[in-house]
Amino acid sequence: MSLVNYIKTAFLNRWNLLAFLGGSGFALLSGHADIFLLLVAATEIGFLGLLASHPKFQHYVDAQVAKAARQQVGQAHEQSLLRITRSLPRESLARFEALREKCLELRQIAGELRNPGLPAEDLGLEQFQVAGLDRLLWVYLRLLYTQFALARFLQQTGKEPIERTIGELEKRLAAMSAGQQGGSNDRMKKALEDNLQTNRDRLANWNKARDNYQLVELEIDRLENKIRSLSEMAVNRQEPEFISSQVDQVATSMLQTEKTMNELQFATGLEALDETAPELLRPKTRNTQ
């Protein structure tokens, strides 16, 4: 943050405002407003300069700004999560919940390996990269929603009507080209050509959406198998550090997938995927169904 922002924050502090307004009121009632107002102003300027430049105050302000930003991101995630879980069909939600249970199993196994004998609630979730698993689940859930949105788009738009319209326009243009030129005929031809290009663009967009649907479908299967593989390795390898590194590797491998989902915002309406994710792997996680 700039020094101006620190000064603004210091000035808007309620205790500073009370002192400043109180001092100004006293100056106005003193009978020597010109003198006392200058003293109040000089004191205020000195106080703001001293406080705004103090490292502890700057650290406090930065922490508050970061906290507000996290809360804002968290609220956006909660809204997206609610929208997704309300929109997805039952079979997609069941698929997500089954994978989430696998992640909980993975977390449980890794925690027990690190801290044998401790109850589940005392296993120290932060030691097993729960944030990484949350992110994987968040990407998976958004993939399911992206698949659902693309399927709805493809179904509602339809390829055959567009192709039929293109064929009809091409025939009309061919017939018109064989006729007389000039005048209104040229204007009609231009309108038909523009309409034809529009429908060709629609068809290209439909084909792209179909290709994206197939890609998302493959990515869903890939991520699901990756997470299930992590659960199996957690049992067989019994090496918490190795499992944790594998979670990070899978998260890194999804970068291109995340980019693809961000490019498909036209279909989903979701905000761009960032580095954060809602908490999906806590002992009392919400019931998405």
Between 98 and 6, whose confidence is greater?
Answer: 98
Rounded to whole angstroms, what are the CA distances from 33 to 46, 83, 235? 19, 59, 79
The predicted model gives 143-149 an average pLDDT of 91
CA atoms within 13 A on the CB side of 90: 0
The helix/strand/coil state of 15 is helix
Residue extents of the structural domains in the chain:
3-53, 61-268
Residue 89 DSSP code: -
Query: In this prediction, what percent of the chain has a pLDDT beyond 70?
Result: 74
Cα 209 from Cα 142, distance rounded (Å): 16
Residue 207 has a pLDDT of 93
Over residues 193-236, the pLDDT tens digits come to 999 999 999 999 999 989 989 989 998 998 888 888 877 776 66
Per-residue confidence (pLDDT) for residue 181, from 0 to 100: 59
Of the pLDDT bands very low, low, confident and very high (cuts 50, 70, 90), residue 76 is low
Degrees to nearest 5, angle at CA 90 with 89 and 91: 95
Residue 240, CB-side half-sphere exposure with 13 Å CA sphere? 18
Contact 193, 176 (CB under 8 A): no
DSSP assignment letter at 277: -
**pLDDT at site 221:** 92
Q: How many Å apart are CA 23 and CA 40, to the nearest integer?
A: 6
Residues ≥6 apart with Cβ < 8 Å to 69: none
Locate 138 and state its tokens.
Answer: 């968040």
DSSP 152-168: HHHHHH-HHHHHHHHHH
What is the pLDDT of the chain when averaged over all its residues?
Answer: 76
Q: Which residue has the higher pLDDT, 86 or 250?
A: 86
| Residues 40/41/43/46 CA torsion (nearest 10 deg) | 170
- Among 91-105, 193-207, 265-279, the minimum mean pLDDT is found in 265-279
Task: State mean pLDDT over 271-287.
Answer: 63
The predicted structure's pLDDT at residue 203? 93
Q: Which residue has the higher pLDDT, 150 or 54?
A: 150
Whether the pTM exceeds 0.85: the reply is no
**Mean pLDDT, to the nearest integer, of 266-281?**
72
The segment with the largest mean pLDDT, out of 68-72, 114-118, 244-248, 281-285, is: 244-248
What's the N-to-C CA distance of the chain in angstroms? 42
pLDDT band at residue 250 under the 50/70/90 scheme? confident
Q: Residue 263's pLDDT band (boundaries 50, 70, 90)? A: confident
Tell me, what amino acid is at 184? S
Say yes or no to pLDDT of 126 above 50.
no
pLDDT bucket at 144, cuts 50 / 70 / 90: very high
List the beta strands (DSSP E) in the chain: none
Q: What is the mean pLDDT of residues 22-46?
A: 75
Q: Is the four-CA dihedral 107, 109, 114, 117 of positive or negative sign?
A: positive
Which position has the higher pLDDT, 194 or 275?
194
Query: 282, 244 in Cβ contact below 8 A?
Result: no
pLDDT number for residue 81: 84
Least confident of 8-22, 139-153, 218-232: 8-22
Q: What percent of the chain has pLDDT over 90?
A: 18
111 vs 149, residue with greater confidence: 149
| Range 231-242 average pLDDT | 66
Q: Looking at residue 239, what is its pLDDT?
A: 63
Per the rule left: phi > 0, alpha: psi between -120 and 50, beta: everything else, 180 is: beta
